[in-house]
Structure formats: C-alpha cells, structure tokens
Amino acid sequence: MEQVRSLVSEVEQAVSAAMAAELTAELAEQDPLVRRSDHADFQSNVALALAKKAREKPRDLAQRLQPHLAAVPWLTGVELSGPGFLNITVADRAITKQLTQRAEQPRLGVAESQSRQVVVVDYSAPNIAKEMHVGHLRSTLIGDALVRILGFLGAEVVRQNHVGDWGTQFGMLIQYIFEHPEASWRNTEVGDTGREDATSALDALYRAARAEFDADAAFKERREPVTPCSPRKSS
C-alpha cells in the first residue's frame, strides 16, 4: 500500500529544502518547526530558533528563506510576520490532490506506523463501592477512541479496565449496615420516594461508613457484626 504524505510533512520538506539552500549542512538538518497557524495554513518558526547559530537576525534569516518557499508551485502564499515567522498558505489544488490520493487507498494512505508495538490502554477504572459518574463515561470514550486509533495504526492493544477498591470498601459498608438496621437502602424501601434508588442509597451509606471508619478505631477493627440486622420483607 502506498503511503500518502501529510500536508504538514510536505511543508516541512519544502522548508527544509529552503534551509539547505541558505544554511550550512549542520543547520539545515534542524527541525523546520512547522506548525498549524491561526494566520495561515502553517507557520514555521525556524528562523527564530536558528538565528543565533546563523549569527544573524531572525527576520533577516526568514527573508532569505522566503523566496525559496514562494517558488514552490503548490504554495500560494509565504508571508513574513513579526520578528521572523513564516506564514505559509497551501493551494487548494494541493489539498484536493491529497484528498483524492487518500480516497483511492483502502487505508486512506495511513501507514501502520505502530506495528509490532504493544500498548496498554486503561479505561475508567471505577470504584465499584461508589456510583459511577460522567467522568467514568468520558475516560471510557477517550480510551476507546485511543484503542481504535492505535489499532488502526497497527498496534497490538491491550484493553484494561481495572475495577478496584472493593475489599475494604464493601467490608466497611456491610459492617455499617449490620450496625444500622434502620438504614433504608433496598429498592423496595427507597424506590417509591422518586428521589433515589438502591445504588444511590448505598452510596450515601458508604460515605457514612467511611466517615465512621476514619473516626472510630473500634469500628475499623471489628470483624463480626455486633448487631445483626434481620432481613426485611418486601412490601
């Protein structure tokens, strides 16, 4: 499969060619520092980075690079800005050409650059003693997006969603329920209120249990229920 070069890599190559024409071999090998720009399609800051080594002002160096870029037929504008920024505009036909090339490729011209790499992606890792919230959904969606991207790039992806914090948390919750038989947490007890369900009620009890666990050393050390609660009959 033929890989389609990205526009930014094409612009980088053009700036590197301009650097090779005007600078020493050592300086020409430096990163052309091409980035996306709010003022054009791309911007190169290389003149500011290399001016000291080239022993000239950044703007003067940028002016020397500018004509070489202006001569590239698929660049419609190369403007000098500020102390030495080069704002670069790509011709519409260059964008259309690349889109056409990508559309003709089964993988849209994207190489499997992560092949033979093993990547572990950790999802939301919820604490199952607590209620889940939008943060868990957000990190799960982000994790799944990363998995799909890395998989498309050829990586072997290990999907991990660690479900942790259940031993001590459930222990303190169960102990608290045994010691507070008056607490309402079953769906048959809280469902009719219209305000919460069993999960929300248990979450509230967990927070109460946590507070008692942190404040009462005796509660923390207890192993057996001191006042077992009897099962309630469903209404």
57 has catalytic annotation = no
Q: Given 68, 130, 180, 220, which residue is catalytic?
A: 130
CA distance 155 to 147: 9
Are 141 and 115 within 8 A, CB to CB? no
| Strand partners of residue 157 | 119
Q: Which residues contact 24 (CB under 8 A, 6 or more apart)?
A: none
Q: Whole-angstrom distance between the N-terminal and C-terminal Cα of the chain? A: 67
Q: Given 39, 53, 97, 133, which residue is catalytic?
A: 133
CA atoms within 13 A on the CB side of 164: 7
130 has catalytic annotation = yes
Q: Given 57, 136, 180, 220, which residue is catalytic?
A: 136
CA distance 144 to 157: 11
**Would you name the residues annotated as active-site residues?**
130, 133, 136
